[in-house]
Amino acid sequence: MVKTKTILIAVLVLLMVVVGILATLFFPSEEKKVKKQFALLSEWVSKDPGESTLTMARKIKSIGTLFAESCDLIDPVHSLSGTYTREEISSLALRSRAQFFDLSLKFYDLNISFPEKGVAKVNLTGKLKGKSTLGEYVDETRELDCLLKKIEKKWRFSQFEVIEVLKK
């Protein structure tokens, strides 16, 4: 009797674990979906030294799909502030990537909140590292506040704000 009960509990626990794993895999939370957008942005901006033209074209084309029709960039220090269209972002990415021999963009400490329905606010640390075609090493770390909007069931970047951690 005791043995049957133990087996039943074990089976139930196992079933719950399996259901949990499947639910996480097939029905990801909104937070995971937002995180995935950042992972894709990181993957598509990054560049390997021997990147082929085909891979580059695919990445540049894909970058645009991550953004809303227009995206605001707020940078109090640099002169990059402004509103950019998807096409402008793709062309900016193309030009910027061309200046690098290898490039890596990584995001850390993503603090995600949903201030209203269809809007996600993310505070994070972005790290850009690479070697330019002139041989200069770039290693920049910045804190960012990003705004994503849910458009056509997909989270798209609509604002990037660079936070001034150290004010000269």
CB within 8 Å of 102: residues ≥ 6 apart: 47, 48, 49, 130, 131
Interface stretch with other proteins, choices 19-27, 65-73, 87-95, 137-145 (CB under 8 A): 137-145
> 25 vs 166, which CB is nearer to other proteins?
166
Q: Which of 61, 113, 139, 154 binds other proteins (CB under 8 A)?
A: 139
Exposed, middle or buried by CB within 10 Å (0-12, 13-18, 19+), for 88?
middle
123 binds other proteins (CB under 8 A): yes
Q: Which of 71, 124, 148, 162 binds other proteins (CB under 8 A)?
A: 124
Nearest residue to 68 via CA among 46, 56, 83, 81: 83
Residues 69-108 that bind other proteins (CB under 8 A): 108
144 binds other proteins (CB under 8 A): yes
For tokens 């502030």, what's the residue? 81
Dihedral sign, Cα of residue 9, residue 11, residue 13, residue 19: negative
31 binds other proteins (CB under 8 A): no
- CB 124 to other proteins: min, Å: 5
Q: Which of 127, 149, 150, 156 binds other proteins (CB under 8 A)?
A: 127
- CB 89 to other proteins: min, Å: 22
* Count of beta carbons in the 10 Å neighbourhood of residue 17: 10
CB of 78 closer than 8 Å to CB of 168: no
| Residues of this chain that bind other proteins (CB under 8 A) | 108-111, 123-125, 127, 139, 141-144, 165-168
